[in-house]
Amino acid sequence: MQRFSLDEISQMEQRYRAAFINSLSGFKSANLVGTQSAQGVHNLALVSSVFHLGASPALMGMIIRPHTVRRDTLENIMQTGFYTINHVNALMVAAAHQTSARYDANISEFDEVGLSPQLEADFPAPYVLESHIKIGLRLEQIQPIAINQTELLIGAVEQVIIDDETIIKADGYVDIEAVNSVAISSLDGYHSTQSHGRFHYAKANVKPSKLID
Amino acid sequence: MQRFSLDEISQMEQRYRAAFINSLSGFKSANLVGTQSAQGVHNLALVSSVFHLGASPALMGMIIRPHTVRRDTLENIMQTGFYTINHVNALMVAAAHQTSARYDANISEFDEVGLSPQLEADFPAPYVLESHIKIGLRLEQIQPIAINQTELLIGAVEQVIIDDETIIKADGYVDIEAVNSVAISSLDGYHSTQSHGRFHYAKANVKPSKLID
């Protein structure tokens, strides 16, 4: 067993600490964020910080560090007000990871990594054709996180595109494992999943049981 | 292929929409949050909304809905200023899920679901003995998310306990799959993972390659 105190964590070498601390929250979602600049250049960025914020209204959160490689994404979202979130699946892991390289603002990551923009007439940001679960969002607000100068982007879900409708179950659950969506660990680990089943809504006087195995 | 417009999403039945929208962000972390009331009662709650907020300083975020079953957790954190985050592993999925039942405030979920509080002399919140990755946090701030009346709790990492130090790699990466940490989909799906390897830091003029297979 190993314990780390606040002092020991503070004294870790910077990149070591980044890998270590990024591991601690557990598995992260793996999404590609698609945007378009005012000049019409498509941008695609791997983001592991997308999270569920609420179902009614349908909202998704995303943490952006303004002083990193993600700047094009943030600027495009602020200029156009729209972006897409596209699940990374097992077949696109290498291409998705490669979008995190520092490409110039006038270069489309779609072209560079070999993914295809999917343009919808009624939505002003590119989806990823190869992704099986795609969400179109309108920027609702940007909430600064003063403590570490990051930004919480809150997006309202405007459109959802699901390739294979059979993964949507009768109660609304979407079987994201069935389309090979992956999870991320730390900064650079990618993982497919294997289900333990779904559990019934928990009640205080009833033993836990599986809804679906 | 199925598309959903904003209107169609708004018209979904409430529980259906909750399951559907909760699926869209991708895989979520699976953590048990341990707290202690001013009266000394332990509380344990499954939370799928923990996310990485920053490595320097080391910060973790967590979204709490104040008007749900999580109220004890929020009140304890506000009263004591401390909480623990403990990875759910494959062996504790049923017990972890069961903590989401509505137990009275004077009842310890540890006792009810069969998990063991691990008390550390220097930390005022209980860890979960059966968990392999445990983080002790001090509440840094609560940031209201006005748009849907949720709260973003920001915690500073004060202490980390890792059972098996061999899962900490030379560069700081913690192999959370090796200790069977699980991921959550939607509201009630639990998943183990299978690694696709780790990738080198992406560079614009270099093809993506694996650091570890």
Q: What residue has token string 């503070």?
A: A10
Q: Say which of A58, A87, A208 has its CB closest to residue B9.
A: A58
Q: In the prediction, which pLDDT does A212 show?
A: 81
CA distance B101 to chain A (A): 5
pLDDT score for B17: 98
Q: What is the pLDDT along chain B (213 residues), one digit of tens a residue?
A: 999 999 999 999 999 999 999 999 999 999 999 999 999 999 999 999 999 999 999 999 999 987 665 578 999 999 999 999 999 999 999 999 999 999 988 899 999 999 999 999 989 999 999 999 999 999 999 999 999 999 999 999 999 999 999 999 999 999 999 999 999 999 999 999 999 999 999 999 899 999 887
Partners of residue B23 in chain A, C-beta under 8 Å = 172-174, 176
pLDDT on residue A105? 85
The answer to whether A160 contacts B24, with C-beta atoms less than 8 Å apart, is yes
Would you state the pLDDT for residue B122?
87
pLDDT of residue A66: 74
The alpha carbon of residue A23 is apart from the nearest alpha carbon of chain B, in Å, by: 6
Which helix (H) or strand (E) element contains residue B19?
helix B14-24
Q: Residue A117, preceding bond cis, omega within 30 degrees?
A: no
pLDDT digit string, tens, across residues A169-204:
999 999 999 999 999 999 999 999 999 999 999 999
- The predicted pLDDT at position A70 comes to 54
Q: Mean pLDDT across the stretch A68-85?
A: 88
Q: Does A67 or A33 have the greater pLDDT score?
A: A33
DSSP run (H or E) holding A133 = strand A133-145
Which chain A residues are closer than 8 Å to B163 by Cβ?
Answer: 1
Measured in whole angstroms, how far is the alpha carbon of residue B196 from the centre of its chain? Answer: 23
AA letter at B115 = L
Confidence (pLDDT) at A117: 98
Least Cα separation, residue A27 to chain B (angstroms):
5
Which residue among A26, A49, A101 places its CB closest to the CB of B31? A26
- For residue A68, the model assigns a pLDDT of 62
In this prediction, what percent of chain A has a pLDDT beyond 90? Answer: 91
Q: How far is the C-alpha of B165 from the C-alpha of B175, rounded, in Å?
A: 10
8 Å CB contact of B181 and A157: no
Of the pLDDT bands very low, low, confident and very high (cuts 50, 70, 90), residue A61 is very high
State the pairing for strand pair A150-162/B133-145.
Answer: unpaired
Q: Is B118 on the interface with A (CB under 8 A)?
A: no
- B145 CB within 8 Å of a chain A CB: yes
- What pLDDT, in 10s, does the model give residues A24-37? 999 999 999 999 99
Residue A119 distance to chain B (closest CA, Å): 14
- For B7, counting Cβ atoms within 10 Å of its Cβ (0-12 exposed, 13-18 middle, 19+ buried), the class is exposed
Average pLDDT, chain A: 95
List the structure tokens of A145: 């996180």
Q: Among A160, A79, A72, which Cα is nearest to A120's?
A: A160
